[in-house]
Structure 1
Amino acid sequence: MGVIEDVYEDLETDVEFDAFEAAVEDKVEQMGGLADEETAAMLIAHELRDEEAETIADIEPGMDEVKFLGKVTSIGEIRTFDRDDEDDDREEGRVCNVEIADESGSVRVALWDEMATGAAEKLEVGDVLRVMGRPKEGYNGLEVSANKVEPDADAAVDVQILDTYRVEDLTLGASDVTLVGKVLEAGGIRTFSRDDGSEGRVANLTLGDETGRVRVTMWDDRADLAEEFDAGEVVEVVDGYVRERDDALELHVGNRGSIERVDEDVDYVPETTPIADLEIGTTVDIAGGVIETDPKRTFDRDDGSEGQVRNVRIKDETGEIRVALWGEKADAEIDLADEVVVTDVEITDGWQDDLEASANWRSTVSVIDDGSTTDRSRDGSRGDGDSTEATGARSESESLGAFADGSSGTGTNGTDDGTAAGTGGATRAQSDGGAAAATADASGATEAGDSREVEESADDPVEFTGTVVQAGNPVVLDDGDRTKSVQTDETVRLGEEVTVRGPERDGRIDAEEVF
């Protein structure tokens, strides 16, 4: 047996020996005598092994031919087409698209003619196939045009196939996914140019359920769906498929998929991290009251496009932090005294060595309309059990505004003596009569209650001590239980503790003394 035969015998390939031998001879000729037959045979063998895909994630456009193993996760319908070649006297063409997945991802495989018919008649979801074919960049991403497929009943591929998925069930490579979730945020439609010169369109939703949240990416005609839904609505994704971006799973919806509004209840509660526990380099969810807002700023990127950013400062019961809202997030309608939840923010080293939270494309920003949030902070802290909560603490029975269905909770926290504390302008009520009401302006709140009425005339001075959380006009002070708006010409510094004295009118103290 010659050296070419020896190398061929050690090579597991479907390439016929005659073709292999011809390729070796061509390689010897190409190298001008710099390689003998054995070296050339080993080079050809190496090239063939390079086309062996260990996983679906290894498949790339441009490979001449690949072989891989995967589980069938969905089977499309047979479509017919007219062949372009007028000299081809075969009947009309047939194609069936099959999604095949392994632990690393999934790929669409196009089965042609007899293979398409066989798939429709014999193939079932869950079957394991060995596929040989040519990869290419298709309309909806990578696909493989199959030359040969064989069932392998003895092989095991760890890919989960469910009728209905929850967020925690999603795995890379899953397709034909049906998932019900609550809309946490909807983004705008963006356009892009494809390699073939056509224009593509894409938009995103963020959905959450009781097991987590996921970013949903909608392509082309399905991108319009992003404008049909508002935060808080419950929708069902049908025929989605899971991809990975920046080490995070995304649920994609193409032309075969759909998203529809459904009448179901879905609970979503983010697991927030107390601001005092934040660390540089982590990505977390945070919640709190807005104590400072800056105007939106625009800037020029290196590529000539225009970007935008807006800074806000939020505070919970453990501390406060500046949050940079980038891109579309800068357009979020956030005002002083709003309660907000910001998810997937990156904690960075900010100005003057303070920590800063950066909300980018992956983040969601939600304003809690009823002034209540739900505390699922990672340290488990939740108050002292006597019904009194510190500033910014969240009752577990309350719902998360835009994250909830709006049917649970009243947006008030009760205390034994009839008053309640909230963060920066949050609604306050009393538990013994339910008649307490709160009115909040852009910078603070006033309290009223049947059992604790304080009838002060506009000329009676009041005294209030708190930390400066806004140093502009008006000054805003927070004492940990209440937030007060103060009119003064005195200069105060952010973070300074001051005491003001003067008459209070319409919830604002007209300070005659500041010390």
Structure 2
Amino acid sequence: DDYATSGYRVNTNWNTELRVNPEGNEELAEGLNEIASKLGPITISEVQDHEDDGEEVDIIGRLITLNDTHSFQRDDGSTGYVRSGDIADSTGKVRISFWDEKAEASYGIGKAYQVENARTRLGMYEVELNVGKTTRVIELSDAESSDLPSFEELEEQIYETKKIFDIEEDDMNIKVVGRILEIEDTREFERQDGTKGLVRNITIGDDSGFISVTLWDDKTNLPYDINEAIKIQNPRVNYNDLSNRVDLSVGNSTNILQPSYNELTSLPDIEELQNILYTSKDIASLELEDRSVKIKGIFSNPYIEKILIPKCPICNRTLEDEDEEECPNCGNPIDEPKYLLMLPGKITDDTGEIQVTFFNELVEQLLDMKHDDIVALYEESEGDIGFLETKAMDIEGRTLELLADVTYNNYDEEIRLRPKKIFKNEF
């Protein structure tokens, strides 16, 4: 048997007799007991001592991360399922993958399990474990797992807790607790192999600073909202050349969890964070490198003539003609373009004025209309945007308090504001 460590398999049939704890052969019993003593669970650090694929091991550990289930197509056309996570004990952690029916079973982060007959797999950097048909996964009670460290103790053992200000490029095995300050829309992109991917950006902050977090694919389904606190386990830390800052990347090997009560005690609420993290500036003092500054001024000159920008639904490039049937960039057919909402204007305070451009959700907030309703009215009126003129007049002269980045407008060679949040909108 290629799948058994010994290379052999025992088959039973109708005339096979099975006896439990047979009597009368003490020598055999002693030999079997000696073998049994060597078959018990090993520590998770000992998993790394195995040098071959497919070796069977038993472990006891606590599940500390768990990703979503993924489906895939096998060579024979059937559908398979896999779900990965990390399981740990006091000696370390190991990557574990649940396959097919084992992937669809119910597991809980923080719960303890005994895993019997898991098979080793030589990963790129370390040995991993596969859990398939011949593996048994047993959830342990608190009494049965009393020798295991608690979930919180394992987290502290495995991950280094870092304040945002202290995060450095290429940090590994870190844990970050922060409050969500900003959430952007999910965007679709095409990979080099032609497959589609999803990406979404959020910003989190603590009392030491704020940081951009990029969510990939399944992680874009963020079950949290602005002002909620999250804990990010094991993010990848990258240096962003555009912002000259480090940021976090969240993929399959990273978990986003709800922080414990103790982890929240030192985290300010969102208003405190905004006062700590966001610098208030007047227009005259704005500089090109400014990020997440607070600006207050009067909004004027809303330009609604190009409020809807047609985009290719596949590659997201701007279309010169919304009636184009094929994207000139990626070559894909276009049934209907997707539309970007864009509303330029000006913001003025006592020190000067600056161009400002609102996009998507912020345009919806200013006009008090949903994106789909604007598109529907635009299409019903065959491209006439007169229905928005009254809305534009309503926001003329309003005092806005914004959170914005300062960008450079190559067309007129001036800086402009790109708002990320509207704090106040009043007359």
1:355 aligns with 246
Cα deviation, residue 494, structure 1:
5.9
Cα deviation, residue 80, structure 1:
6.6
For residue 205 of structure 1, the aligned residue among 75, 78, 85 is 85
1:283 aligns with 172
What secondary structure sits across from 1:490 in the alignment?
A: strand
Q: 1:232 to 1:181 in 2, by over 3 A?
A: closer
2:69 aligns with 188
**In structure 2, what residue type is equivalent to 1:490?**
E
Q: Distance in 2 between matches of 1:473 and 1:209?
A: 50
Q: 1:207 to 1:472 in 2, by over 3 A?
A: farther
What secondary structure sits across from 2:73 in the alignment?
A: strand
Q: 1:224 to 1:291 in 2, by over 3 A?
A: same
Aligned ranges 1:450-489 → 2 under 5 Å: 465-468=275-278, 489=400
Q: Distance in 1 between matches of 2:99 and 2:119?
A: 12
Q: 1:466 to 1:276 in 2, by over 3 A?
A: closer
What secondary structure sits across from 2:104 in the alignment?
A: helix
Further displaced range: 352-361 or 331-340: 331-340
For residue 236 of structure 1, the aligned residue among 91, 109, 114 is 114
**In structure 2, what residue type is equivalent to 1:330?**
T
Q: Distance in 2 between matches of 1:189 and 1:165?
A: 29
1:314 aligns with 204
Q: Percentage identity across aligned positions?
A: 21
Point out which structure has higher relative CO (alpha carbons under 8 A, 6+ apart): 2
Aligned length, in residue pairs:
267
Q: 1:333 to 1:197 in 2, by over 3 A?
A: closer
Q: Do the aligned partners of 2:62 and 2:110 also contact (CA within 8 Å) in 1?
A: no
Cα deviation, residue 256, structure 1:
0.8
Alignment partner of 1:179 is 2:60: yes
**Mind listing any 5+ residue stretches in structure 2 that lack a counterpart?**
14-30, 280-291, 297-397, 407-422
Aligned ranges 1:125-136 → 2 under 5 Å: none
2:125 aligns with 247
1:367 aligns with 258
Q: Do the aligned partners of 1:314 and 1:323 also contact (CA within 8 Å) in 2?
A: yes
Q: Do the aligned partners of 1:74 and 1:175 also contact (CA within 8 Å) in 2?
A: no
Q: Do the aligned partners of 1:313 and 1:321 also contact (CA within 8 Å) in 2?
A: yes
**Mind listing any 5+ residue stretches in structure 1 that lack a counterpart?**
1-60, 62-71, 82-121, 127-160, 374-410, 414-421, 426-442, 447-463, 475-486, 496-508
**In structure 2, what residue type is equivalent to 1:288?**
V
Aligned ranges 1:111-190 → 2 under 5 Å: 163-171=40-48, 173=50, 175-190=56-71
What secondary structure sits across from 2:56 in the alignment?
A: coil
**In structure 1, what residue type is equivalent to 2:267?**
T
Alignment partner of 1:78 is 2:13: no
Q: 1:328 to 1:336 in 2, by over 3 A?
A: same
Cα deviation, residue 253, structure 1:
0.6
- Structure with greater Cα Rg: 1
Q: Distance in 1 between matches of 2:293 and 2:115?
A: 47
Q: 1:468 to 1:253 in 2, by over 3 A?
A: same
Q: Do the aligned partners of 2:294 and 2:404 also contact (CA within 8 Å) in 1?
A: no
Q: 1:80 to 1:251 in 2, by over 3 A?
A: same
Q: Distance in 2 between matches of 1:263 and 1:251?
A: 23
Q: Distance in 1 between matches of 2:168 and 2:46?
A: 29
Q: Distance in 2 between matches of 1:314 and 1:348?
A: 16
**In structure 2, what residue type is equivalent to 1:207?**
I
Q: 1:251 to 1:206 in 2, by over 3 A?
A: same
Q: 1:466 to 1:75 in 2, by over 3 A?
A: same
Q: Distance in 2 between matches of 1:73 and 1:343?
A: 35
Deviations 1:343-398 (A, max 9, x none): 33222122322111112222222122x4542xxxxxxxxxxxxxxxxxxxxxxxxx
Q: 1:74 to 1:352 in 2, by over 3 A?
A: same
2:98 aligns with 218
**In structure 2, what residue type is equivalent to 1:468?**
Y
For residue 220 of structure 2, the aligned residue among 325, 330, 346 is 330
1:300 aligns with 190
Q: Distance in 2 between matches of 1:219 and 1:328?
A: 18
Cα deviation, residue 74, structure 1:
6.5
Q: Distance in 2 between matches of 1:491 and 1:197?
A: 53
Question: What is the CA RMSD across the aligned residues, in angstroms?
Answer: 4.5
